[in-house]
Amino acid sequence: MNFQINELTRQVAETARDFAQQHIKPYVMEWDETQEFPVQVFKEMGKLGMMGALVPEEYGGAGLSYYEYKVIIEEVAKVCGSIGLSLAAHNSLCTNHILTFGNEEQKKQYLPKLATAEYIGAWGLTEANTGSDAGNMKTTAIKDGNDWVLNGTKNWITHGKSGDIAVVIARTGEPRTSGNSTAFIVEKGTAGFTGGKKENKLGMRASETAEMIFDNCRIPDTNRLGKIGDGFRQALTILDGGRISIASLALGIAKGAYEAALQYSKERYQFDQPIASFQGISFKLADMATEIAAAEMLVLQSCDLKVRGEKVTKLSAMAKYYASEVSVKVATEAVQVFGGYGYTKDFPVEKFYRDSKLCTIGEGTSEIQKIVIAREVLA
């Protein structure tokens, strides 16, 4: 494994960093307070190739590797976890599902629009009573001639209201049976497909999370992704890569919180010396830096396996699990370093603190990651 950063990765990171500083940082708290999903920012990122990072150039994408994808999410998340989350969901879930399992016609029809952010993508697996228990989902798709009729509700969906296109996994067989679900592409504006309740969240407030409701939603069989009954297997494959993106998101949040705490500890004076000179603070910073470095190695290992086309299930689960837990710990310690100021919205660490928690929940909780890891090591 060679994790030496090449010139392309360095340039991509610099572009993402500059964009985040100029186009995201000035509005972070405004978007957080109002829960605005700033669609125009994603359109601008589309112009830079960030919304189609992994999409090959032949389909209008940037054709980058997971190393570049990692640094894009990381640099954005260092400024705003919400924008980083939406960026990750659009790329890793909706877009990547079509890229991985779509036929040539579907790829040509949808990927260029997703890669440029003409379309914002959503991905629907989770339901109110079936998070990781996706085999028991209630949303159904019933074949009717050359069409499928979808009924049910998906919950906790990133871009559930504002997304222009969604990949939806629906049950096409009996609950808890092998091959009981199928993936479909559903476009916004299709009769019977509407956005529902938008969630009022603790953190990640500028990343829209909402219901998707299907009421006798009729779509043609040409919108089916892959084979009938292959939906859940497809979803697991997509989540393997998605965990790398959430790990990168968590890593970016952790780095943002750490860098803010480090700078503050050098500038804040107590007892006529910077607080960084006190062991209580310096040891916190040492732990934060060490755990961030360890998390980054797991993320890089996952990227390496993905780039080489090898199985990434165990490493991506490890990276997602560890990086997300580190993100919460680092953000918590950053608030502590800031003291009372860290508890106010005038400083950035309270937002890192709120945003970080989602990383231990979304795309499989830390507990689910442990199950995945345990199954892999015991296989």
Question: Catalytic site residues?
Answer: 363
User: Which one, of 300, 354, 347, lies nearest residue 327 by Cα?
Assistant: 354
C-beta of residue 228 within 8 angstroms of C-beta of residue 182: yes
Region class of 279: left (phi > 0), else alpha (psi between -120 and 50), else beta: alpha
CA distances from 223 to 66, 103, 105, 163, 226 (A): 28, 10, 10, 17, 9
Within 8 A by CB and 6+ apart from 342, the residues are: 334, 335, 336, 349, 350, 353
User: Which one, of 149, 191, 165, lies nearest residue 112 by Cα?
Assistant: 165
- Distance (Å, rounded) from C-alpha 83 to C-alpha 204? 8
C-beta of residue 152 within 8 angstroms of C-beta of residue 140: yes
What's the start-to-end Cα distance of the chain, in Å?
24
Supply φ then ψ for residue 217, to 5 degrees. -80, 115
Within 8 A by CB and 6+ apart from 235, the residues are: 125, 134, 169, 181, 183
Query: What's the length of the chain?
Result: 379
- Distance (Å, rounded) from C-alpha 129 to C-alpha 360? 19
Amino acid occupying residue 48? L
- Distance (Å, rounded) from C-alpha 254 to C-alpha 327? 5
Beta bridge partners of 327: none
By three-state DSSP, how is residue 217 classified? strand
Six token digits for residue 366: 């830390």
Amino acid occupying residue 47? K
User: Which one, of 61, 83, 57, lies nearest residue 72 by Cα?
Assistant: 83
